[in-house]
């Protein structure tokens, strides 16, 4: 602290501290979206599996199906965020 005050008092420019892991905002939004979609769709698959199926295998299949829907949805949205519109150019 004393060094920073001395440097600031002497007229030198002090560089602002940046975070060590700076990530592009688009990539950060994509990662956040992907984690949320996969988690919530897997949770929805688990709840529907518990509600509708009795077998352990079909319950896990419904969780996997929900996770697949989440991955596909996140992939589509992330490609739109990162690369622009999905329309053919």
Cα 30 to its chain centre, rounded Å, is 5
Looking at per-residue confidence, does 17 or 45 come out higher? Answer: 45
User: Which residue is it, tokens 């829907």?
Assistant: 69
Amino acid 68: pLDDT: 96
CB atoms < 10 A from the CB of 30, how many? 20
Summarize the confidence of residues 64-75 as an average pLDDT. Answer: 96
Amino acid 12: pLDDT: 61
Q: Is residue 10 scored above 90 in pLDDT?
A: no
Domain ranges within the chain, ordered by starting residue: 23-89
2 and 54 in contact (C-beta within 8 Å)? no
Amino acid 89: pLDDT: 47
**pTM (two decimals):** 0.67
d(CA 27, CA 78): 8
């Amino acid at each position: 602290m004393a060094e920073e005050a001395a440097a600031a008092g002497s007229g030198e420019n002090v560089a602002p501290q940046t975070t060590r892991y700076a990530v592009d905002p688009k990539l950060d939004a994509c990662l956040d979206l992907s984690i949320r979609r996969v988690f919530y769709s897997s949770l929805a698959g688990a709840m529907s599996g518990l509600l509708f199926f009795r077998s352990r295998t079909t319950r896990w299949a419904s969780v996997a199906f929900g996770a697949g829907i989440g991955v596909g949805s996140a992939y589509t949205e992330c490609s739109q965020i990162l690369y622009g519109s999905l329309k053919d150019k």
